[in-house]
Amino acid sequence: MSRLSGVNHITLLTHDLDRLAAFYEEVFGARRLVELTVREPDGPGRHALIGIGGGAALHAFQLTRAAVPPARAIFERGRIDHFALNVNELETFERLRSELLARGVSHGRVTDFGIVRVLTFADPDGHAVELAHWVGGHDPVHLDMSRASDAELIARRPARDRTPMAGARIGQVQPISISERW
């Protein structure tokens, strides 16, 4: 059994702390917990903890001296490629997928890995983020890992799927019900 209880925080760089916090607050019901000033030599700037549930937070920094890297294709983004936000209920996953589609920040395609379903989106700064839903339970430790599969992802690996998702709006996609697919 792991001695860890989960992820504490993920640190992000942003061009606009207020815009980034508002996105996570509006779409996911996250809450800005605290905001602090960053002084020299690391600043000037500011940073905030944004509570995202389950004891985890996004720790967003807006620093005038730090350039936010451009969006890149999967596995070309650096040491941390993306992070995933978990939702326990399929209905919540469907509602959030619709919201992300309406905002034009996701292509809407859901990938089923047998044990987890994911939807990729880009936040306002172009961070690659996934919305994830464990299939058959809320804790991956208790799932049947023999059902894990990359087959769906590999089958649709054309170059068009490798394009980076920048903070710019992505074309609207016709919403479909996740439950119709599984």
Instruction: Express each pLDDT in 99-108 by its tens digit.
Output: 999 999 999 9
Q: Are residues 87 and 58 in the same domain?
A: no
- For residue 15, what are its two tokens? 């061009």
Q: What is the pLDDT of residue 41?
A: 80
Q: Residue 149: which domain range? A: 83-169
Query: What pTM does this model have?
Result: 0.73
E runs forming strands in 41-98: 45-53, 56-63, 83-86
For 121-162, give the DSSP string: EE-TT--EEEEEEETT-S-GGGS-GGG---HHHHHT--GGGG
Q: Are residues 96 and 160 in the same domain?
A: yes
Q: Are residues 87 and 16 in the same domain?
A: no
Q: What is the pLDDT of residue 173?
A: 33
Average pLDDT of 80-105? 93
Q: Are residues 14 and 59 in the same domain?
A: yes
H-type alpha helices, 29-177: 90-102, 151-155
- Note whether residue 4 is domain-resident: no
Residue-wise pLDDT tens digits, 8-28? 899 998 989 999 999 999 999
Q: Are residues 89 and 57 in the same domain?
A: no
Residue-wise pLDDT tens digits, 31-65? 999 999 988 787 789 999 999 998 899 999 998 88
pLDDT at 124 over 80: yes
Residue 88: closest CA among 131, 29, 127: 131
List CB contacts of 78: < 8 A, sequence separation 6 or more.
69, 72
Cβ-contact 165, 70 below 8 angstroms: no
Q: What is the pLDDT of residue 6?
A: 78
Long-range contacts formed by 174-178: CB under 8 A, 24+ apart: 174/108, 175/97, 175/98, 175/101, 175/108, 176/108, 177/94, 178/90, 178/93, 178/94, 178/97, 178/110, 178/117
What is the pLDDT confidence band of residue 143, given thresholds at 50, 70 and 90?
A: confident
What is the pLDDT confidence band of residue 146, given thresholds at 50, 70 and 90?
A: confident
What is the pLDDT confidence band of residue 164, given thresholds at 50, 70 and 90?
A: very low
- Note whether residue 160 is domain-resident: yes
Q: Are residues 47 and 117 in the same domain?
A: no
Q: Are residues 165 and 106 in the same domain?
A: yes
Domain count, the chain: 2
Q: Are residues 116 and 42 in the same domain?
A: no
What is the pLDDT confidence band of residue 174, given thresholds at 50, 70 and 90?
A: very low
Residue 132: closest CA among 102, 93, 82: 93
Average pLDDT of 76-102? 91
- Note whether residue 98 is domain-resident: yes
Please give the Cα distance from 146 to 36 (Å, whole number): 45
pLDDT at 97 over 90: yes
CATH of the domain at 37: 3.10.180.10
Q: Are residues 101 and 154 in the same domain?
A: yes
Q: What is the pLDDT of residue 115?
A: 87
